[in-house]
Each structure stands twice: as structure tokens, then as C-alpha cells.
Amino acid sequence: MTIATHPITAKAHTNIALVKYWGKLDTQLIIPQNDSLSMTLDEFYTKTSVQFLPELATDKVIFDGEELSDKDSAKIRTFLNLVRDLAHITYRAKVETKNFVPTAAGLASSASGFAALAGAASRAAGLNLNRRDLSRLARRGSGSATRSIFGGFVAWQQGHDDETSFAYPIDEQPTWDLAVIALVLTAKQKKISSRVGMQLAVETSPFYVEWIKASQADFETVKTAIQNQDFTLLGHTSEQNAMRMHALTLSSDPNFTYFNADSLRAMKMVKDLRLQGIPCYFTMDAGPNLKIICQGADAERIAQHFQAVFGDKQVLITRPGSGISISD
Ligand code: ADP
Ligand code: DP6
Ligand code: CO
């Protein structure tokens, strides 16, 4: 394998965790405290191109059209060092990345971002990684990126070291009609990153041990629900798991929350719809933007219900998305 002589482009979608990762055993290698499980989303993604060039003295990163400062590109440059080590090369790289998802707003830009970077940078460096190894590499950038290598329903096996912590597909092309409605209530960047928020929970929440026990059970339940295409079990367990994760932010010291007034309002609307006999459940990652899990046939009318309150542009119907694609 040799270094590519043209830019390599990768496209990776974000994913929404149904059973969440919220805490690391190893912060360096990003080994999580529990297994997690997600659905890859078709409407939100990142496109990244990478080329390693002999004439560059430093890595150059263009993010959404603007060149990043050294400080802002630090995480990406650290990640490129990993790729250089793996490929035994020293050239610096030109990276261009564009998010088709709000950045750092709880819509998992770090998942699509580092999955796309892992795909483009590894191939540009002359590596031809299989998807498991690509998911291990993406993990080093951001935990949730591990799962964005695959499409549909994906599990991240916790593992205990770099070799054994990776994602695997559970059902890459679900044959049942499911939708996730994303409420983009705010595209503002969060004050407390996922990385900082979860570490605080590990170190200070008295509920942390119970969270791990509950999430391991949720993982098995959601896996069974996917195998049996049991929508109610999948939705109910995902909603419970999300609230248990958010109970960790509330019980951290200092305490904090990713909820805002609109998230609470939207949660109540979901529960009211359920009381009216419309099956739907919510989940929320590290940001106020709620996701509503529903059956495809109900998606349009549920979306309209939320559009009437939050506005057209804020409500987006997404479906299971595909895994990473990388240009030759
Ligand atoms: P989110 O909810 O969007 O995943 P996080 O706090 O987990 O928020 O991560 C946000 C961080 O992810 C950004 O500050 C940046 O470091 C990284 N990130 C986002 N998009 C990209 C991208 N396209 N390429 C590389 N890194 C990215
Ligand atoms: C709530 O993967 O963004 O979305 O590994 O520190 O980069 P780092 O964190 P990140 O955390 C994701 C947290 C979550 C749940 C999940 O996606 O499983
Ligand atoms: Co993230």
C-alpha cells in the first residue's frame, strides 16, 4: 500500500444511541464502561477528504469552509498522528471536512466527524482497513464514532483493550419501517462537551454503578427487541435508558443538565401522543435536541404535530442510514 496521490473522500452518518455510552474506563484509548447500541441516521452526515502531502510542514484543516487554528485543530491533528503511526508515514495532511449536521449540539457530529476522518485518513495514508479495524480507529477520535462505521442498528462491544473494543452490525438494513424524528430545537454548541460531561459522571455521580447495571440490561433488551422487531419494547427501553443517562448529569457534582425548556415541552408532547394511542418514544443525547422514535407509517403526522409548535425547519424525519463510504 502506498500513500494516495489524490484526496480521498469519506462520508459517514451520525447515529442516535438507543442504549447510551456515558463514561470511559480508559480515557486515552476510549474504552467505554458499558456496551452501547445505536441506529445510524440517513439525514445527518459528515463528508471529509484527506491527502497526505510531502510539501506540507504542518497539518492544515478546513472545517465548514474555514481554516482551523492550531488550538481548534488539536483533536484532529492528534488523530492524524495515530494514522501516521499505523501507516509508518510522516507526511502532514490537508483535511477538508463539512458537517451536514449541527456541530456540538447533541446531534452526534463527533460520531460522523471522526468516522469520516478515520475512513478518509486511513485510506489516504495507504491503509486498507476492514470495517472492524476502522471502527477501532474511529473510536480513538470519539467513542460514538465507533458505531458510525456501520449502517442500521449497530452495537459497540465494550471490550477491555484496543483490540477488543469495536462496533459490529446487528441489522444493517432493517426490514421493519422505523423512523426517528429529530427536533433541532437549537443548533447552539453545548457548554459541556460529551467528553467532559461523562467524565464528571464517572467521577462524581453516586448513581454511576447502578447506571452500568441498568444499561447492560437495557442493551440485552434492545437487542432482543431488534431481533423480534418489537417496537414497543425498543421504544420504551430506549426512553428509559436516555432518562437514566440524564439522571447522571443531574446527580453529578457540580450538577448540570442538557435539557432546556423546549426539550421538556417536547417530552410531554410525546407522552401525550402515547396517551392518545399514537406509539412514539423519545431519546436525547448530550444536547437539548430530542429525537422521537416512531413507526414509519406514523412519522408524517407526528412530525406535523411538532412542526405546528416548533416550526417546519426544526423537525426532520430520518430513517436508518447506511455505513461509511470511502472513495477510491
Ligand atoms: P456532538 O453532540 O456534536 O457529538 P461532542 O461534544 O461530542 O458533540 O463533540 C463535538 C466535537 O466533535 C467538536 O468540537 C469537534 O472536536 C468534533 N467534531 C465535530 N465535527 C467534526 C468533524 N467533521 N471532523 C472532526 N471532528 C469533528
Ligand atoms: C450521549 O462519543 O461524543 O451521545 O468519546 O468523549 O468523544 P467522546 O464522547 P461522544 O459521547 C456520546 C455520548 C452520547 C451517547 C452515545 O452516543 O452513546
Ligand atoms: Co459526540
User: Any idea what the CATH number is for the domain that residue 272 is in?
Assistant: 3.30.70.890
Domain of 118, CATH number, reads 3.30.230.10
Residue 14 sits in the same domain as residue 67? yes
Any ligand 1 atom below 6 A from CB of 199: no
- Asked if residue 258 belongs to a domain, the reply is yes
Taking CA atoms only, the protein residue closest to ligand 1 atom 22 is 113
Give residue 241's domain range: 178-318
Cβ of 106 below 6 Å from ligand 2: no
Asked if the interface predicted TM-score (ipTM) of this complex is over 0.85, the answer is: yes
Select from 20, 97, 110 the residue to mutate for testing ligand 1; criterion: most ligand atoms less than 8 Å from CB. Answer: 110
User: 280 - beta bridge partners?
Assistant: 294
In a domain, 1, yes or no: no
CA of 227 to the centre of ligand 1 (A): 31
- Write down the pLDDT at residue 100: 97
Q: Is 97 in the pocket of ligand 1 (CB under 6 A)?
A: yes
Q: How many domains does the chain have?
A: 2
The residue out of 173, 196, 223 marking a domain boundary is 173
Q: Are residues 125 and 22 in the same domain?
A: yes
Is 131 found in the same domain as 25? yes
How many angstroms separate the CA atoms of 54 and 52, rounded? 7
For ligand 1, mutation pick of 103, 114, 139, 184 (most atoms within 8 Å of CB): 103
Q: Which atom of ligand 1 is nearest to the CA of 286?
A: 2
| CB 106 near ligand 1, within 6 Å | yes
β-bridge mates for residue 157, sequence order: 166
Is residue 313 pLDDT above 90, yes or no?
A: no
Q: Measured between alpha carbons, how far apart are the two ends of the chain, in Å?
A: 13
Residue 326 inside a domain? The answer is no
pLDDT single digits (tens) 9-18: 999 999 999 9
Cβ distance 320 to 11 under 8 Å?
Answer: no
Give residue 21 CA to ligand 2 midpoint distance, Å.
6
pLDDT at 122: 98
**Residue 1 pLDDT grade (very low, low, confident, very high; cuts 50, 70, 90):** low
- 113 vs 122: CA distance, rounded Å: 14
Atom 1 of ligand 2: nearest residue by CA position: 285
Question: Residue 79: CB within 6 Å of ligand 2?
Answer: no
Give 30's DSSP letter: T
Nearest to 279 by CA among 302, 303, 310, 304: 302
Q: How would you classify the pairing of strands 92-100 and 60-63?
A: parallel
Confirm whether 312 is domain-assigned. yes
Judge if the beta carbon of residue 195 lies within 6 A of ligand 2. yes
Residue 182 in grid coordinates: 429529530
User: Could you tell me if 167 and 185 lie in one domain?
Assistant: no
Interval between CA 272 and ligand 1 midpoint (Å): 33
pLDDT digits (tens, 9 = 90+) for 130-173: 999 999 999 999 999 999 999 999 999 999 999 999 999 999 99
Q: Are residues 151 and 268 in the same domain?
A: no
CB 3 within 8 A of CB 282: no
To the nearest whole percent, how much of the chain has pLDDT over 90? 98
Q: What is the pLDDT of residues 223-277, one digit of tens each?
A: 999 999 999 999 999 999 999 999 999 999 999 999 999 999 999 999 999 999 9
139 and 211 together in one domain:
no
Cα-based distances in Å from 160 to 174, 211, 212, 223, 281: 29, 19, 15, 21, 32
Say which ligand is closest to the CA of 109: 1
State whether the Cα torsion 233-41-287-296 is positive or negative. negative
The Å distance, Cα 193 to ligand 1 centre, comes to 9
- Average pLDDT for 177-194: 95
Residue 323 lies in a domain: no
Residue nearest to atom 14 of ligand 2 (CA): 285
Q: Is the pLDDT at 298 greater than 80, yes or no?
A: yes
Between strands 325-326 and 36-53, the pairing is unpaired
Instruction: Tell me if 21 is assigned to some domain.
Output: yes
pTM of the model: 0.98
